[in-house]
Chain A
Amino acid sequence: MQLYDPTASGAERTLSRAGALAAIEGKTIGILENGKLNAPEMLREIADLFVARHGCTIHAVYSKSNASAPAPAETLAQAAAEVDFLITGLGD
């Protein structure tokens, strides 16, 4: 008996990470929040620790309107052009 496989077959993807920061001091931070309850507050608390301890600045808080859809490419591109690193998150 022969059965077709019901799962998707796709090419394996491989991505790379961006390079590490040499230092944190004085860097600009972007926050990308997803609109969920306490999401901006939680991420802001983390960013504030970088501000207090490393002299970082929070450049912008980017919001996405749909917590469970990928952020629009233009939002990510704008953030990448404006900040040194991004703090974002998922989960409730």
Chain B
Amino acid sequence: MHDGISFEQLGKRAVVLCTEPFEVTAKNIAKIMGLADYPFMKVQHPIGSCTAPELKARAEVGYRQALAILLGD
């Protein structure tokens, strides 16, 4: 989250991936950094132990959210 918000200060959009249990953590960092409503991708936990098909399924969910984040206000 920190990296995404820092990157956007350089003038380009970033899309940040987060798993569901970390949503509250991500929002907290965004709030502390002064961008409380910063949108991010949220997918099912975990990632580390996922099989390839499970990663693809999460990627599809993340992609749809990323598209909206990149094009949205």
Do any CB atoms of chain A lie under 8 A from CB atoms of chain B in the complex?
Answer: yes
- A contact residues vs B (CB 8 Å cutoff): 12-21, 23-24, 32, 36-39, 41-43, 45-46, 48-50, 64, 70-71, 73, 76-77, 79-80, 83-92
- 4 shortest interchain CB distances as A-B pairs: A89-B17, A13-B34, A45-B59, A80-B10
Contact between chains at A92 and B59 (CB < 8 Å): no
Write the nearest CB–CB distance from B59 to chain A, whole angstroms. 3
B71→A46 contact, CB < 8 A: no
Is the beta-carbon distance between A20 and B26 smaller than 8 angstroms? Answer: no
Interface string of B48-66 (1 = CB under 8 A from A): 1110100110111011001
**Which A residue's beta carbon lies closest to that of B50?**
A38
Is A90 touching B1 in the complex (CB atoms < 8 A)?
yes
Alpha-carbon separation in the docked complex, A40 to B52 (Å): 12
Nearest CB in chain A to that of B65: its residue: A46
Contact A92 B63, CB 8 Å, known A15-B33, A39-B47: no
Q: Which residues of B contact A17 (CB under 8 A)?
A: 8, 13, 35, 38
Complex CA–CA separation, A68 to B11 (angstroms) = 24
Contact A20-B13, Cβ < 8 Å, known A46-B59, A70-B2, A90-B1: yes
User: Cβ of B34: which chain A residues have Cβ within 8 Å of it?
Assistant: 12-15
Contacting residues, chain A, for B19 (C-beta < 8 A): 91-92
A21 with B13, Cβ < 8 A, contacts A37-B48, A70-B2, A89-B18 known: yes
